Structure 1
Amino acid sequence: MPQPVLYNLSLAELEELMRAWGQQPFRAKQLYRQLYLNLTNDPAAMSDLPLPLRVRLHHEAQLDPLELVQSQQADDGLTRKALFRVSNGALIESVLMIYADRVTVCVSTQAGCAMGCDFCATGRMGLLRNLSCGEIVAQVLWACRELRAWQVKLAATPHTPIMSTGEADTQWWGSESGAFSERVTHQVNRVTNVVFMGMGEPFANYERWWAAVERLHDPNGFNLGARNMTVSTVGVVPGILRLAEAPLPINLAISLHAPDDQLRSTMMPINRRYPLAELLAATREYTERSGRRVSFEYVLLHGRNDHPYQAMALAKLLRGQSISKGPPLLCHVNLIPWNPVPGVPLSRSERSRVHEFQQILRDYGVACTIRIERGASIAAACGQLAGH
């Protein structure tokens, strides 16, 4: 029998395991608190459990299903990327981002990705396998322990500058007013946001992804609010409709990247299966059922999808004035700088073109911002995760 992976087990399943091991069911609640509140990943440190049970957990169970291979830092340590190996040898990546008012971890739901978007490093890998619930959750818990270690270091050197303005060639992406620069203090003491925007398509691994959402949301354990979680999809329509019926109000982000089917199909093969009219109909149904605003992600590529006429076409699309007939969509557009991917002959849009694109959307009444760039120097930015 393979060893049980504790992060894969719900509280009820831990109780079954404790009974099978001849333990009282309340031991499962103690173990659950150790895993998700104390963030303990070593049975020897679980001092409220009896020694024989700790020994058995050490020898007969697996706590952390991820093997940390390497970690890297950027942005004065405020961006941290981890490379993990999972059970079949596949590699995945996670990214921790510390801000002045929040701490976000970007996690993977698959090793590789089958979607094949031509501007994305993960899409060039192909799909290696789905991740388990425990492998998804474990990435968040890694980020929590990493944050704790950073805070200990910060407390020891409180007068050390923490954030510089970043790379000279990408400063302007940080905010509409200029270079991104902020000082972070240690008052944010836990991970506040989880975004399922790492490697893989979450809706192609829906059951395990949703189990991870429920585990992270559980008020008896990690207790992260549903509104503090965001899932990103390339436009898998059945997943969008399924999320519309889900009991937890998870935020939805949709990778759009083009205002018409012809261009989008060349960039994102999923569009051939779920073209824009079908995607936007599902999006409208989601917003009407949930009452929640959708974010559309739009990676700007020089000379390909950043022309002013394409900005106008996108605005009309989202305002219900073209193939998406009806009232304006309850949405927000997030413009994203394209981050270099080895072997991909693309380039990012110029600053003037990006701000012109943004202004056109705003002139049409579409809310639009430019994403703060983090981690490009360690290939941790949007679209760069490739298990390296």
Structure 2
Amino acid sequence: MGPRSSKVKKVHGHEGDAAERGRKQAVEEFTESEKKRQQIQNAQRMSELKERVKREKAKLKSYTPGDMSGAGEFEDIDLSDINAVRIAVIGPAGCGKTCFINLAETILLGEDKVTAIPQSAAGEGSLYLLPHLSSLNFRLLDSRGFFSPGESYKEELIQILSGRIRDNEPIPRPNDTYGNHRHLRDVIAKRDVALLSDCIHGIISVLDYNDPKFMEYADEAKVYRRLLKENGYSTAAVVTYKTTEAITEEDRRYHQNEAAKAIGSSIDRTFSLLNHVALGTEITVETEMTIVDILKTALLGAESFIKVQKQLEKYKFEDEIRDILTEDQRISVVDFMTSLENKYAWTKAEVNNVIEIFDNNYIDTVQRLNQKWEEVEDKITPWTIKDLIKEELDELLL
């Protein structure tokens, strides 16, 4: 009985080992299967992301003003004078403004077309208002980094937004010792506000989460936020990272919230971006998608700004004409055509040709033009000008 019992135990022991090995093998097979399934899903997601990035990049390359807002938004607004939407990239010195533009140029145009070259860490960075992406229908304008976004920066920002500081000009400051900066400050201050086409239409504001003052900007940037809000700008905010360490989603959200508060942007217009240029690392497809989303957000905000400014221009023009009519019911066709020339950016030759037609038909006032319109309308070319004259005339004499 004893030996047999021992033999039974050994058999049972072998069966237990076999069962354990079976369980381990099943777990390993399941784990491997899950791993492969996850790899397939990840590969599929990456493939879909690459396709989306490709489509969105193509849209940006073929972009024309108004595209982001969709059909109908600018149906009654003339955008022919807006050759390129102008977006200023602003932020503290060393925050990654030029690196951001460099990344945008790289993914849209290719490395061989990059014009935004970051300065060394020891340098101040760009001292000029430098336009980039000049081959596209929108521009990113690199600006001089500020050291404090308070009252001292306000006047400089106003000059940039208003177009008083022109492309490729230095951005002078009171304590500058560079060349003719002091003289240039006086020249810029005396300039008129530029035409809407030459003003800044959109803002991308960049902050570096490693900036020692990162947490202070929410308080320091009150003047900055108020100025942008009062002037109708909807800012896109970017938090840059210069680290190869993994950043938790919780930290990322926290930094985005702080940046949104500092800049005055909404959280859905605030982005996190790994600074591949500063790190010297390869640009990932996720970074490409982030750059695309930032540009689309900034362009949408810029189009909203342009739309509002165009509407204000129209209301101002109509008010001025009504004021003239109130003072003198005999407004001249010369004054009328000069107003339209400024509004629609017609050439002097086009306007003079129309005025000559009016002179030849003894039309000297808008009232007289209204009375004799059917006699002269077929003589006015091109038809686009004729239609706009009639449209403005009808609205004027309502």
Query: Do they superpose with TM above 0.5?
Result: no
Q: TM-score, normalised by structure 2?
A: 0.29
* Higher Rg of the two aligned structures: 2
Higher strand share: 1
